[in-house]
Structure 1
Amino acid sequence: MVDKLVDDLLTGPRPVDLVANFSSLLPAAVICDFLGVPFPDRDRFGGWILTLTQHDATAEQQAGAFGNLFEYMDALVAAKEAEPTDDLLGQLADVQIRQGELTRQEVVVIGLLLLSAGFDTTASSIALGVVSLLDNPSQLDRLRRDPSLVQPAVEELFRHQNTLQFGVGRVAVEDVELGGRLIRAGEGVILLTPSGGRDEKAYPRPDELDVGRQGPDPMTFGHGIHNCVGKFLARVELQVAIGTLVRRIPGLRLAVPAAELSYRDNSLVYSPRELPVTW
């Protein structure tokens, strides 16, 4: 999949928007193939998903987007109940629904969660990762010279730039002292998980990008029972996407000054809106 996308980049006009022509296409193709969702429908369900993540979308707009998305997935699961397919939704419909282990509504919700998460966050991580590398040419050159660094490089990119720039609310169930502060039982706290990636106690020189860094797993995928179920797939996608771009387009560079890039500051998922590149 990645090589085909790169082939299209190399034979197409320059400069090219890497978001529209690479980083958003790959995760959509992967998650559609995995779930059994028609890839040509990506503009439809993609628009609804983006509406659900936008902070400035009205309640009515978000309710409409969710309703459309739910109806779309419900019809898809119903079709797979009638004629099972060899994909995740097809298997859930053919086995779990038929045996009474799951209801259709539960399979629909599972499908919505995986489609939404696999579609946007991974695409944004690829785009942010490319920006970080292009903004750190010495590290990009290091990765070019030693492709075996792609695995730690991807972990470092996850740590350095987190697509989910928001706090997670929790309530303390008992008194606990954290960082010299007493948090009493029943008090609410907001945890800014991306800040964990810049903790100098865990990562020396945390603001610097180091593609060979060794350290704790980044907080990008959460922890414990709330750990991201798609973290292994996302890691593989980034390793193949970043590794192939670096290998096949060694002259890749921004086509505009970095300061001119526009970001999705109004969205639950942070990423460049466009990424004009050339080589």
Structure 2
Amino acid sequence: DEGAAAIAEALRGNEVLTSLDVGDNSLTEEAALSIVRVERQRNKLTSLFLGSCGIGPNGAAEIAEYMYVSGSGVLTTLNLRYNGIGAEGAKALASALRVNGVLTSLDVRGNKIGPTGATAIADALKGSAVLTDLNLFDNSFGDEGAKALASALRVNAVLTKLNLCNNGIGPEGAKAIGKALAVNGVLTDLNLSYNQIRDEGAAAIAEALRGNEVMKTLDLSGNRISDAGAKAIAEALRGNGVLKSIDLRSNRLGDEGERVVRDAVSWREGLKLREWF
């Protein structure tokens, strides 16, 4: 905390620093926020990393106020990973996202935002015109949150990268996301790894790939997909001409599932399969 106070004081007289990372330093919430309060007046940082700084819901709300102030400023990248902001903190940030016109990258992984927090962020995404990179890894929002985010993907026209890894998303959530991907024209990078979409969810994503013309990278590793899901994906890959990388590691593919996927990948020039199954 003493070091954070010194950094905050130094910022007061600095007119050129644009990127600051004080994450993983065992700061208290108050120490981390002391930096935010100075920067709120200074408004020079384009990138701020406050991961694992003990920031809770109230701290997230104060950072959201800063985002309001910097809405016409310069902050484009904000990382608040592993801070325990919860649903209330997510709602505060979502409220700020609705009016902030410059933030392009937000990382709130590992914050226990749950379905309520995910829904709030999804609602904000529907009107966002600048956010292109969103990391929601490890937030336990399940199918409910996935469906809300899918609804946002149907209308969002700017988000290109979305990380939904390890959120307990099942087949129903995957179906909703698949339907959204069928009409979304901008998302190029989707991480659905280590959820529980199984064959039914894999088939829904595969169906979306058939008509999707923008997706470049897709991670479906660790989803309990077996041969039936692999066959659906393989068939979709033959009809998709834009995907560059697909990850199916740590699933339940047998020899037949592995064979059909490899055949489809070898048939498609420029497509990379992440090894091993």
Which category of TM-score, normalised to the shorter sequence, fits these structures? under 0.3
The structure where helix makes up a greater share of residues is 1
State the structure with bigger RCO (CA 8 A, min sep 6), 1 or 2.
1
